[in-house]
Amino acid sequence: MDLILPSSGLIFWQLIAFLALLFILIKFAWKPMLAALEERETSIDNALKAAEQARNEMASLKAENEKLLQDARLERDTILRKAQEASAKMIEEAKSEAGKQGALMIENAKAVIETEKKAALTEVKNQVALLTLEVTEKLLRKNLSEDKAQKELVDEFIKDLKLN
């Protein structure tokens, strides 16, 4: 067989076998394989994009969280401040209220004491008048004869009473 002259038999077999190989490989190997590769590349691409997106979302979420936290802190501070102010105010109010209440109670107590004192004095006066009457009665019964002495005595009593 010649080196540089193609032989028809080999061309024949080569043509048939190569075309068969081409057909089988295209149908059963290259097409499914290229499709799978493309699918994989797309899915890798998508996964990378999704990861990137997730990262971005994560970052924005983090920033948002940070902001929320900051807001919450500010809010807490405000609330605390307000609460302190409120409690201080309440204490102040309670104090002044208590002071007023105390003063009022003292006032009332003084008034009651005054009334009681007056009532007691009136009572004492009444008692004294009663006693005086009894004493007078007794004296009158005993010393009706001695008119002069009686008169003196009565005057004296009256004097005393007036002094009272």
Partner 1 sequence: MTRKFLFLSLLLSALLLSFSSAGFAAGSQSEEGGEDPTGFIMHHVKDSHEWHFFNIGHTHVTLPLPVITYASDRGLEFYMSSDFQNHETHQFGEENAHNGIFIDSHEHLGRVDGGAILDFSITKNVAMMFIVIALVLYMALSAAGHYKRNGAVAPKGVASLVEPIVIFVRDEIAEKSIGPRYKKFVPYLLTLFFFIWIGNLLGLLPGAANLTGNIAVTFTLATLTFILVNINGNKDYWKHVFATPGVPLPLLPIIVVVEFIGLFTKPFALMVRLFVAITAGHIVILAFIALVFIFESYAIGVVSTLMVTFINMIELLVATIQAYVFTLFTAMYIGGAVAEHAHDDHH
Residue placing its CB nearer to partner 1 in the complex, 30 or 85: 30
Name the segment binding partner 1 (CB under 8 A); options: 13-21, 81-89, 124-132, 134-142.
13-21
Nearest approach, Cβ of residue 18 and partner 1 (Å): 6
- The Cα 108–Cα 101 span in angstroms is 10
Number of residues forming the site for partner 1 (CB under 8 A): 36
Does the footprint of partner 1 cover residue 48 (CB under 8 A)?
Answer: no
Residue placing its CB nearer to partner 1 in the complex, 6 or 102: 6
Nearest approach, Cβ of residue 49 and partner 1 (Å): 17
Classify residue 60 as exposed, middle or buried by CB count within 10 Å of its CB (0-12, 13-18, 19+).
Answer: exposed
Q: Which string of DSSP letters, residue by residue, matches 126-161?
A: HHHHHHHHHHHHHHHHHTSS-HHHHHHHHHHHHHHH
Does the footprint of partner 1 cover residue 36 (CB under 8 A)?
Answer: yes
Does the footprint of partner 1 cover residue 46 (CB under 8 A)?
Answer: no
Q: C-alpha angle with apex 15: 12 to 18, nearest 5 degrees? A: 140
- The Cα 160–Cα 152 span in angstroms is 12
- The Cα 156–Cα 149 span in angstroms is 10
Does the footprint of partner 1 cover residue 144 (CB under 8 A)?
Answer: no
Residue placing its CB nearer to partner 1 in the complex, 3 or 144: 3
Does the footprint of partner 1 cover residue 13 (CB under 8 A)?
Answer: yes
Nearest approach, Cβ of residue 2 and partner 1 (Å): 7
* Contact assessment for residue 153 and residue 160, using Cβ atoms and an 8 Å cutoff: no
Task: Point out which residues bind partner 1 (CB under 8 A).
Answer: 1-15, 17-22, 24-26, 28-34, 36-37, 39-40, 43
